């Protein structure tokens, strides 16, 4: 049915709709966007259309699920280097939705604990692959350095570990 108004309604769950009504296209199709809340789980959404003034409304219910997003370290974890130097390669974190799709354009907070500091921005935005990169400079003390990435109000987190060491000198010959 072309040009019919479809009413959309969230019946249950933690979701909201971009629009509560839409109009069918020439093929009789209608759509709206469902936004899931911060709590993963299922939501029920109903679409209702009344084909004409003489007919009863027709409804269809959809059960949709949202899973927790994930953050993972995809490159640069486990690097070591001398105190006072920068790591050789950036640490890359990747943010994905519960369906495995990359989260694009999301803010990720980066933080360092231990003898080091970020040389890249503390807040980065995910690229088309859902990735952000962090560069770290080791301080003048040896030890483990942890780089944390957090997104979506703490719902997705990952950590990378680095090791800063004091280079050892040894006498190869002579006194």
17: number of Cβ within 10 Å: 15
Strand pairing report for 156-165 and 80-82: parallel
What is the distance between the alpha carbons of residues 112 and 58, in angstroms, rounded to a whole number?
Answer: 56
- Whether 162 contacts 147, CB under 8 Å: yes
Phi and psi dihedrals of 157, rounded to 5? -145, 150
Q: What pLDDT, on a 0 to 100 scale, did the predictor assign at position 165?
A: 96
Instruction: Identify any residues that bridge with 15 across adjacent strands, giving them in sequence order.
Output: 36
Residue 43 is predicted with a pLDDT of: 92
Question: What are 135's two structure tokens?
Answer: 């560069």
Q: For residue 72, what pLDDT is reported?
A: 97
DSSP 166: P
- The parts of the chain modelled with pLDDT lower than 70 are 38, 175
- Is residue 61 a contact partner of residue 42, using CB atoms and an 8 Å limit? no
Two tokens, residue 157: 């987190």
Q: Which residues have a Cβ under 8 Å from the Cβ of 76 and sit 6 or more positions away?
A: 87, 89, 90, 91, 92, 133, 134, 160
Distance of alpha carbon 14 from the chain centroid: 19
The confidence score (pLDDT) of residue 38 equals 67
**CA separation (Å) from 17 to 48, 113, 153, 155?**
14, 40, 21, 22
Distance CA(109)–CA(165), nearest Å, equals 26
pLDDT of residue 120: 93
pLDDT at 175 (0 to 100): 65
């Amino acid at each position: 049915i072309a040009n019919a108004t479809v009413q959309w309604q969230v019946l249950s769950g933690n979701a909201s709709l971009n629009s509560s009504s839409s109009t069918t296209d020439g093929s009789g199709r209608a759509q709206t966007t469902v936004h899931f809340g911060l709590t993963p789980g299922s939501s029920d959404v109903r679409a209702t259309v009344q084909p004409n003034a003489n007919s009863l409304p027709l409804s269809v219910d959809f059960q949709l699920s949202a899973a927790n997003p994930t953050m993972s370290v995809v490159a640069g974890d486990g690097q070591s280097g001398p105190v006072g130097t920068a790591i050789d390669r950036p640490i890359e974190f990747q943010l994905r939705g519960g369906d495995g799709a990359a989260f694009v354009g999301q803010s990720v907070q980066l933080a360092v604990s231990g003898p080091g500091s970020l040389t890249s921005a503390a807040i980065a935005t995910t690229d088309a692959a859902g990735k952000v990169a962090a560069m770290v400079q080791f301080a003048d003390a040896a030890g483990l350095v942890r780089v944390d990435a957090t997104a979506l109000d703490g719902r997705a987190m990952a950590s990378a570990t680095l090791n800063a060491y004091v280079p050892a000198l040894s006498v190869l010959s002579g006194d």
